[in-house]
Chain A
Amino acid sequence: MLPGCKIPHSPPAASTQGSKLYHVACAACHQPDGKGLEGIAPPLADSAWVDAPDEILIRIVLHGVRGPLDAKGQAYNLEMPAMGFFTDEEVAAVLNYIRERWSVSPKAIQAEKVRHIRTKKRADSWTLEELGWRP
C-alpha cells in the first residue's frame, strides 16, 4: 500500500450483522428509516432513547417492554416483544447498529454486558416504571 493511502472503510462486523438483524426483526415496526409507525412503535431516529444507558436498552431487547409511552407527541401503548432468542453478540450488534445510525454520539455496547444482564433471569416484559429511566 502506498504511503498516505487509507484502507477503504468497511463497517465493523457488528454494524453489518446489526443492520441485517435490524431489518429482519425491528424495521417492520420501527421502520427502516427509524421513524416508527403511528400508534404501533415509537421512532428511534432523533430519539433520546437510543442514548439510554446500555443496561436499559439491553433489557428492552432481551425481555421486551410494555405500557404507555409518549414520543414526539404521540402516545404508544403496545408491547414490544422480547428478543431473548438473539445471542449476546446479536443483541449487541443490533443495538450498536441502532446507535450508529441514530445516536448523536454512539457508544458501543459489548456482548459481555449483554451476557451479564441475561443471567438476571426475567420472565416478563419491562414497564417504564421498572426500567426507571426516561429521556
Chain B
Amino acid sequence: MVESILQTLSYAPIQRALAACILCGASCALLSVFVVLMKMPLIGVSMSHAAFAGAVLGMLLDINPFVSGFILCLLTAAVLGPLSDRADMAPENLLGILFSFLMGVAFLGMGILTQTKAGALNLMWGSLLTLSNNDLYVLALVTLVLTVFIVLFFKEIRVVLFSRRLAASSGVPERVIYYILLFMTGAVVSSNLATVGGLLIFALLVQPGAVALQLTYNLKSFFLISAATGILACFLGLVASYVFDIPSGASVVLAATVLFALAFVFSPKRRVVRPIERKIQDENDRR
C-alpha cells in the first residue's frame, strides 16, 4: 500500500498536480476572503468567465491562453472598478449582463474553433494531471504576489474590508487597494484556468471564505482557515479524482462543498447566546 502510494508520488505529473493543488487552493482561498467579506461573488464569477473567454479567444488567435485570459480579466476589471464605484447604479444587473456576455464570447469562440475542442474544454473544468511546468511557475508567482500583498497591507486591507467608505474617510488609499484586488483576482483566476478551470474556480473563490466566516472573528485566522480549507479541498479532490477516476475539477468543488457543510453545522458562531449568558459575560468583561 505505502509502496504503491510512494510509487504514485514519484511520477512527475502527480508531483506537479500536488504542487498545483496547494498553490491553487491557497491563491483562490486567499482571494475568497475578499469575495466573501466584500460580498462580491458576482465580481468573482465575472472575472472567471472573462478569464475563460479570454483563454478561448487566445486559442483561436494562437496566443498563450493565460496571457489572453489575463488581458480580458484586466479589461473586465477596468470596467467593473469604476462601475462598482458609482452610487447611482445597481452593479448586480450590469454584472449579470457582463458575465453572460463573456460566456457568449467564450462559447462563440469554442464554436468557431477549428482545432480539437478538448483543450478548450480543459479550460472550463481544468485538468490537474496535465499541467506543464510553466503553468506551475505562473501559479506560484501569482500566489506569492498575492500573499505578499496581504501581508504588507494587512491593516489597510482590514479597513477596506470593513468599509470602503470609512477607509476613504480616514485617509486610507482604498481605491488603490481595491484596484490591486481586482487585478489580483484577474491574475489568480487566469492562472488557475489550467488547474480547476474557468467554471469551477468560482466554487473556490467563495467556499473557503464562507468556511472561515463560520469559524472565526479574527481576520488573521480568517485568512489562514480559508487558505487551509482551499488547500485541503484541492488535495482531497485530487485524491478522489485519482482513486475513483473522476474529473478532478468536479471532485475539488464537491470536496469544498463538503468542508463548507461541515463548518456550517459545527460553527461556534451559530451557537445561540442566551440573554442571561450575555449578561454574565458582560459583567465578567467589566471586571
A and B interact physically: no
Seen from chain B, the residues whose Cβ lies within 8 Å of a Cβ on chain A are: none
Residues of A within 8 A of B (CB): none
